[in-house]
A and B are shown apart, each in its own frame.
Chain A
Amino acid sequence: MVTRVVVQRSPALRARRWARSNLFSNAWNALLTLVTLALIGFVAFVLVRFIFIEADWSVVRENRRLIFLGRFPQEHEARIWPPIWLFALLAGGSMGLWGRVNARGAAAIVVSVVLVFALLAHGANGARLGVAVVLAGGAYLLAERGLRGEAAQVRARRAAIAGWALLLPFAVVVLVAFGGAQTSRLGGFLLNILLATVAIEAALPLGVLLALGRASSLPVVRVVTTAYIETVRGAPLIAWLFVAWFVLPDVLPPVFNLDRIDLVLRAMVMLSLFTGAYIAEIVRGGLQSVAPGQVEAAKAVGLGGFDITARIVVPQALRAVIPALVSQLISLWKDTTLVSILGLTDGLGGSEAAVSQREFFGRQREVLLFAAGVFWVVAYAMSRLSLRLERSLGVGER
């Protein structure tokens, strides 16, 4: 029989031992620790002093509409809520279905909800935000507790996937169709989010197709896709956006109104085409990492060419390149700010425009810090999501 001896030490003692072995193991490490601590302390002090004492956040509070919706017409403002509610429902439900919220995650969620309420909840918006919170919470509880049996789980997951796939078209229809806002009036972070979502959903399949094309054995396909990828990657995104703005209307043939397409749509197309080229190269790297034996084995069991590609090669290739892919998508999320040169007022543009109001002169630090915060939150969420995806696909374990 084995007896476990548990030595109980006081927490203070444990902390001291940990610090000694990790932070002060020798003179050099001790010096590094002290310098780093001083640096961290200084930065934290400056930041905290600015955020809580020096900053006047009224510029953000007063301009929250400009920052989040840009020039979106006021009479259509109510239209933004149904997509938000659907998003809340799906987010809550998915968290219940696929993930588990630990204490830290719950704390982060509570803090962000309180922050959002403090900033945005005024009048009717408070109630609407409340609906979103209730929907998310209800969906989470229902998904985690309310589903009895495997079949119900599977059905709920299918519904959630279909819901996510339909979220973007739903949002676009609600915002724009049936006498809604002109697309050129979409703005603020709403525009950044729409642009990024559309571009992600369009660029991923495009990138995979381009990568397959470049790896194809047909010379025509290979040359065309290679030429496309190299051309698109050869010029900066800002140049392509200018092309979309000034050149496309003169070049495109006037069939299907191609030459009169709206500016926001042109920006979406350009972002998708541009990101597609980069994704193609990432996916190509993934394709090369799939062992030839996989293809041979698939042939041996009698799979056809399409099935080999779609079921054997591409899934494994994508699984291998998730980190690079997500990094590209995060970069795309931030590149959406470039549309401000097309005369669109995105989240960053709206933030910067706010300091041209006379009462908010000199408040640039506040709005920029806030905009940076919003970008960070979304980018971080994308990064966490990809980590979760990697874990569930067993990347780096198998």
Chain B
Amino acid sequence: MTQQRAFRVAVLTIAAIGLVVMACTSDEKESAAGNTLQAVLDRGKVRCGVNDAVPGFGFLKPDGTFAGFDIDFCKAVAAAVFGDANKVEYVKLTAAARFEALASGQIDVLIRNTTWTASRDADLKADFAIVTFYDGQGMMVRADSGINKLEDMRNATVCVLQGTTTELNLDDRFRAGNIAYKPLTFETNETLEQAFTQKRCDGWTSDKSQLAARRSAFPASAGGPVALKILAETFSKEPLGPVTRDNDSDWHNVVNWVAIGVITADELGVTSKNLEQMKSNPPSPDVARLLGVPFKGGQVSNFGLGIGADFMQKVLAQVGNYDEVYQRNVTPIGLAREGTLNASWRKGGLIYAPPMR
């Protein structure tokens, strides 16, 4: 075989293999309109748009898998639809691309710390499901700074990420309170933290969940978490939850009621641990309805969501209820649930599930 022929054979082989691989790996595409639930069922996987850089909510673990509060809701949807929490295809999205990705059908559901606002709901053709996390902008200062409320920050320098709503909210709040201040903007949280540690600014503003995460991991060399405090005031509303496309009710209902089911289970005290016992011997009709089992020999209620009546059993077994999800993901980043907006409404919080019946 001459050198040239060897080369020709190689090129032909490459072309042939390329064609085969192309044919084998082509992906499905769903049209933006229509019935996503059917498309998801046909595909056998939920495509979930997520973030890979929010500690506690959506991030990549060293083994290359996603974890976090938002990720668990993706898993809950997959568990409900397929009975398998692993049947999720995660699509990492930037803030800029997320709504386009949803509208063009690249993802089925967007669970990426996305705030529910009027313009997003109407203009961007998105439908917001129940709020799963109430976040809000806060201010973190050094504990020894003598600052106890925003009004103490006259002429202070505030570190903030540039080009975010955070920057706009900061300006709104300080102008409304007639507080003169100097913003110092940064591209990333890392550079911002460095500037704050070097005392180039007096305050650090961001969503409270992220401030808490940064505070809990503040390096001991700089004084550790106790060197910082987060002011009580929350000066923006950031209700976060899953998002689906407009005019896609069947799918929206599934996503919405899975999230509501996770919250309901928390209200009723059904956990992944006592699930078996609750299933075989439901203490109340509410629990029986949630789990799709008969109460004292009665009828099994089916909500007509188009997925099995026992979908919450699978969700609870594989993901757990709201409190379990919260304790697993958010508590470790230094944000206790008690006493915050994200406590159950029974304990003075805002997490409240419409009745499942």
Contacts and interface: CB of A to CB of B under 8 A. Distances in A.
Contact of B64 (A74, A161, A356, A357): A74
Interface in A245-266: 245-246, 249-250, 256-257, 259-263, 265
A316 interface: no
Nearest to B65: A71
Contact of A162 (B7, B20, B97, B188): B7
Interface string B40-53: 00000000000011
Which A-B residue pairs are the 3 nearest by beta carbons? A165-B10, A257-B26, A364-B190
Nearest to B15: A169
Interface in B1-52: 1-3, 6-7, 9-11, 13-14, 17-18, 20-29, 52
Contacts of A335: none
B92 interface: yes
B316 interface: no
Contacts of B18: 169
Interface stretch (B130-138, B210-218, B252-260): B210-218
SS class of chain B's interface: helix, strand, loop or mixed?
Answer: mixed
Interface in A148-185: 157-158, 161-162, 165-166, 168-169, 172-173, 176-177, 182-184
A24 B242 CA distance: 69
Nearest to A159: B6
Given A158-B3, A261-B27, A343-B93, A358 B62 contact: no
Q: Which of A242, A343, A352 neighbours the largest number of chain B CB atoms within 10 Å of its CB? A: A343
A361 B213 CA distance: 9
A173 B25 contact: no
A262 B25 contact: yes
A183 B24 CA distance: 10
Contacts of B207: none
B66 to A, nearest CB: 8
Contacts of B94: 341
B60 A354 contact: yes
A205 to B, nearest CB: 9
Given A158-B3, A249-B104, A345-B92, A260 B60 contact: no
Interface of A: 62-66, 69-72, 74, 157-158, 161-162, 165-166, 168-169, 172-173, 176-177, 182-184, 187-188, 201, 242, 245-246, 249-250, 256-257, 259-263, 265, 340-341, 343-345, 349-350, 352-359, 361-362, 364
A29 B25 CA distance: 62
Q: Which of B18, B64, B89, B100 neighbours the largest number of chain A CB atoms within 10 Å of its CB? A: B64
SS class of chain A's interface: helix, strand, loop or mixed?
Answer: helix
16 contacts: A65-B62, A65-B64, A71-B90, A161-B6, A162-B7, A173-B17, A249-B105, A341-B94, A343-B91, A345-B64, A350-B60, A353-B53, A355-B190, A356-B54, A356-B59, A362-B193
A327 to B, nearest CB: 25
B90 to A, nearest CB: 8
Contacts of A166: 10, 13-14
Interface in B158-209: 188, 190, 193-194
Interface of B: 1-3, 6-7, 9-11, 13-14, 17-18, 20-29, 52-56, 59-65, 89-94, 97, 100-101, 104-106, 188, 190, 193-194, 213-214, 216-217, 219, 332-333
A74 B17 contact: no
Contacts of B10: 161-162, 165-166
Contacts of B52: 345, 349, 353, 356
Nearest to B2: A158
A262 B6 contact: no
Nearest to B5: A158
Contacts of B100: 246
Nearest to B26: A257
Nearest to A178: B24
Given A162-B9, A176-B21, A361-B193, A353 B60 contact: yes
Contact of B13 (A169, A340, A352, A359): A169
Given A62-B62, A71-B64, A246-B100, A161 B53 contact: no
Contact of A66 (B53, B60, B92, B217): B60
B1 A158 contact: yes
A262 B7 CA distance: 29
Nearest to B105: A249
B21 A357 contact: no
Given A66-B62, A357-B61, A362-B194, 6 more contacts: A65-B63, A182-B25, A343-B101, A356-B55, A358-B213, A359-B217
